[in-house]
């Protein structure tokens, strides 16, 4: 065991050296799988050739074992709305090593010369990352040591490298996505993916039935998606100075991916370290606080303004969330001109020191936001804070401007309901139906979130992929307007190889990988957002046309998507039947 562990450390050190030379977009080596191989699965593989077949987007296929051919198919078919992104995965497996395997996907051909162009089709080799498991109490919270948890390689990341070597006795999944153009003529479209290995070419046929419904562009989706961004993680991963031109260039493709998922919120930090250094990269402040020699305050919003404008230019512009007036450690950093150095105040909400520190900033911030034209879309944001502290902070916020908005991700607080514009509650917490309906009528974002607390549904690297899609369906079932997850890209030390973290279950801190590389979890989450939009569009149409039968079908279709039902029915099984019903409406 000691020698094996030492070997892994040497491998990681070598990879870090390559990483430093080539950057996050380069190829990399996966870690060895600590679990044993099922040799019998490979004894059943006949011949020396590469085997190919369609699998399921619901399964994380094992790299070390051959798949069961009886669960695979030689073709794939699906239905899609115009403007929808659909996907599946197919498998390559071989008993012999192969080099430079590549995938080619052309246009899909429809009737009377109609096509879905090849540019709408993307493929990516699915990569394997180290994961762990839930705690014995069924949650994913708490500080952890790897040796205390069962660890294994799991399929999750979707690579950007166009060729792969496949080792002997290995299974290699490939993710297939088709973005159906909004102007596509309804009808049946047939396509083909080709798998090339030298002069050998294998092929898999598939088809998409495009129906006469249109999904709007992501910027027009009503689903309130809020995945918190971490600019500091990108700076560390790319080795660039925070907020430099190189930093913004590195961040752009990640935030474009996020905008294409329908993201609505910009995560900003108005203090240093609002979450008590819980993540690998401490969040820096986007506002520079300076206490001048005469006791007055000056605030520099240069970084804040650049970041917000950068995100808005990419299409994320519904809401600016500013964290946080109530940090987890109640520490507030600023530059003191008299002392000539950065200094620290520790103050509890409700204390004179707290009010003296925050009131000048809030007053100035209101003026700045109004000058920029951003005041109406900005919230002072907090998460999982006690109600008494929230009320103290609210008093200062309202003193600065009675119309300043507030957002909260945490427990439901009835006394604060009318004061919180963007209210997000934990997935298993109750939210009064009548309050929820009233908030939705007012157009106030009212959403739910998952974190390390929930064993399921969740988006850990070991979570069943369908649970990410379940989020959109659960939001539609409950009447929520969206979903929040605290981390889009809070990367661990080696996110491409090892998703485990010193706290929380593996994968809790990020959806996407450096490169940028998407993931099965992220693609399936977007699938659920699309489904939510389809349900919303149909519901609005049926309501407008007084189609009571259609409305009844929608409600019946959504009825299984209670979180407690996951105790006995897997999310994939729920979705299989519901999505079939949705495709027929």
Question: pLDDT for 510-525, tens place per residue?
Answer: 999 999 999 999 999 9
What value does the mean pLDDT of the chain take? 94
Mean pLDDT, rounded, for 135-163: 95
* Best CA proximity match to 258, nearest among 214, 317, 303: 317
* Best CA proximity match to 322, nearest among 333, 307, 337, 340: 307
* Residue 507 CA to its chain's centroid (Å): 10
Per-residue b or e along 19-56, where b marks 16 or more CB atoms closer than 10 Å to that residue's CB = beeeebeeebebbebeeeeeeebbeebeeeebbbbbbb
More confident residue, 147 or 336: 336
State what percent of residues in the chain have pLDDT above 90.
93
pLDDT band at 457 (very low <50, low <70, confident <90, very high): very high
pLDDT at 21 (0 to 100): 43
**Backbone phi, then psi, for 143, in 5-degree steps?**
-70, 140
Within 331-428, residue ranges assigned H as helices are: 352-372, 387-400
pLDDT at 198 (0 to 100): 85
Q: What angle do CA 157, 159, 161 make, to 5 degrees?
A: 165
Within 190-318, residue ranges assigned H as helices are: 231-238, 245-260, 302-313
pLDDT at 200 (0 to 100): 80
pLDDT at 386 (0 to 100): 87
Threshold 0.85, pTM exceeds = yes
Look at residue 339 and tell me whether its pLDDT is greater than 90: yes
Look at residue 16 and tell me whether its pLDDT is greater than 50: no
pLDDT at 17 (0 to 100): 38
Q: Other CB atoms closer than 10 Å to residue 120's CB: what's the count?
A: 18
The dihedral over CA atoms of 209, 211, 214, 219, expressed in degrees to the nearest 10, equals: -20
Question: pLDDT for 71-122, tens place per residue?
Answer: 999 999 999 999 999 999 999 999 999 999 999 999 999 999 999 999 999 9
User: Are 494 and 15 in contact, with CB atoms under 8 Å apart?
Assistant: yes
548-558 and 466-478 helices, crossing angle to 10°? 130
Mean pLDDT, rounded, for 388-409: 96
Q: Where are the beta strands (DSSP E) in 393-514?
A: 405-410, 422-426, 446-449, 482-485
State what percent of residues in the chain have pLDDT above 70.
96
Residues in Cβ contact with 442 at an 8 Å cutoff, skipping those fewer than 6 apart: none
pLDDT at 384 (0 to 100): 82
Residues in Cβ contact with 121 at an 8 Å cutoff, skipping those fewer than 6 apart: 105, 106, 107, 108, 176, 177, 178, 191
Look at residue 3 and tell me whether its pLDDT is greater than 50: no
Is residue 41 classed as helix, strand or coil in its secondary structure? helix
Residue 176 DSSP class: E
pLDDT at 268 (0 to 100): 98
Is residue 188 classed as helix, strand or coil in its secondary structure? strand
How many residues comprise the chain? Answer: 585
Mean pLDDT, rounded, for 242-259: 98
Per-residue b or e along 365-404, where b marks 16 or more CB atoms closer than 10 Å to that residue's CB = bbebbeeeebbebbbbbbbebeeebbebbbebbeebbeeb
Cis before 510 (ω within 30): no
Which two three-digit tokens encode residue 22?
């080539």
User: Are 315 and 261 in contact, with CB atoms under 8 Å apart?
Assistant: no
Dist CA 219 CA 217 (whole Å) = 6
Question: pLDDT for 470-485, tens place per residue?
Answer: 999 999 999 999 999 9
pLDDT band at 22 (very low <50, low <70, confident <90, very high): low
pLDDT band at 330 (very low <50, low <70, confident <90, very high): very high
Q: Other CB atoms closer than 10 Å to residue 96's CB: what's the count?
A: 13
């Amino acid at each position: 065991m000691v020698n094996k562990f030492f070997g892994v450390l040497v491998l990681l050190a070598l990879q870090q050296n390559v990483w430093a030379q080539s950057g996050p977009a380069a190829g990399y080596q996966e870690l060895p799988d600590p679990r044993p191989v099922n040799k019998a699965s490979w004894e059943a593989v006949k011949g020396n050739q590469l085997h190919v077949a369609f699998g399921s987007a619901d399964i994380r296929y094992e790299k070390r074992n051959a798949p069961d051919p009886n669960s695979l198919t030689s073709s794939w078919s699906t239905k899609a709305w115009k403007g929808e992104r659909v996907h599946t995965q197919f498998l390559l497996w071989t008993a012999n090593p192969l080099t430079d395997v590549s995938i080619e996907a052309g246009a899909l051909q429809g009737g009377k010369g109609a096509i879905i162009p090849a540019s709408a089709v993307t493929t990516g080799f699915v990569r394997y990352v180290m994961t762990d498991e839930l705690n014995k109490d069924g949650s994913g919270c708490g500080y952890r040591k790897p040796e205390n948890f069962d660890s294994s390689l799991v399929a999750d990341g979707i690579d950007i490298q166009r060729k792969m070597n496949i080792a002997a006795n290995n299974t290699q999944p490939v993710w297939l996505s088709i973005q159906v153009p909004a102007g596509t003529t309804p009808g049946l479209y047939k396509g083909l993916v080709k798998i090339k290995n030298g002069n050998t070419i294998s092929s898999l046929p598939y088809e998409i039935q495009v129906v006469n419904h249109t999904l709007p562009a992501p910027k027009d989706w009503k689903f309130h998606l809020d995945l918190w961004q971490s600019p500091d993680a990108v700076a560390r991963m790319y080795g660039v100075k925070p907020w430099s031109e190189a930093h913004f260039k590195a961040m752009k493709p990640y935030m474009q991916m996020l905008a294409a998922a329908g993201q609505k919120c910009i995560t900003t930090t108005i203090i240093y370290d609002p979450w008590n250094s819980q993540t690998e990269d401490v969040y820096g402040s986007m506002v520079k606080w300076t206490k001048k020699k005469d006791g007055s305050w000056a605030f520099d919003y240069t970084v804040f303004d650049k970041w917000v404008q950068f995100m808005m230019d990419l299409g994320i512009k519904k809401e600016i969330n500013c964290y946080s007036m109530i940090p987890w450690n109640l520490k507030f950093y600023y530059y003191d001109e008299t002392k000539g150095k950065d200094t620290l105040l520790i103050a509890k909400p409700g204390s004179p020191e707290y009010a003296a520190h925050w009131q000048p900033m809030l007053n100035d911030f209101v003026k700045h936001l109004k000058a920029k034209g951003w005041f109406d879309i900005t919230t002072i944001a907090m998460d999982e804070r006690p109600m008494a502290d929230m009320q103290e902070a609210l008093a200062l916020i309202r003193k600065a401007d009675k119309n300043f908005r507030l957002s909260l991700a945490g427990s439901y607080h009835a006394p604060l309901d009318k004061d919180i514009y963007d209210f997000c509650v934990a997935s298993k917490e109750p939210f009064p139906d009548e309050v929820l309906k009233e908030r939705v009528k007012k157009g106030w974002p009212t959403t739910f979130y998952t974190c390390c607390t929930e064993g399921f549904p969740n988006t850990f690297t070991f979570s069943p992929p369908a649970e990410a899609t379940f989020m959109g369906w659960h939001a539609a079932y409950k009447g929520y307007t969206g979903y929040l997850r605290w981390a889009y890209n809070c990367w661990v030390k080696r996110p491409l190889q090892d998703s485990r973290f010193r706290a929380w279950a593996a994968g809790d801190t990020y959806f996407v990988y450096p490169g940028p590389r998407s993931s099965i979890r992220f693609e399936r989450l977007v699938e659920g957002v699309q489904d939510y939009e389809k349900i919303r569009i149909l519901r609005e149409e049926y309501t407008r046309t007084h189609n009571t039968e259609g409305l009844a079908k929608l409600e019946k279709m959504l009825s299984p998507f209670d979180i407690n039902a996951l105790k006995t029915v897997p999310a994939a099984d729920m979705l299989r039947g519901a999505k079939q019903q949705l495709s027929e409406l």
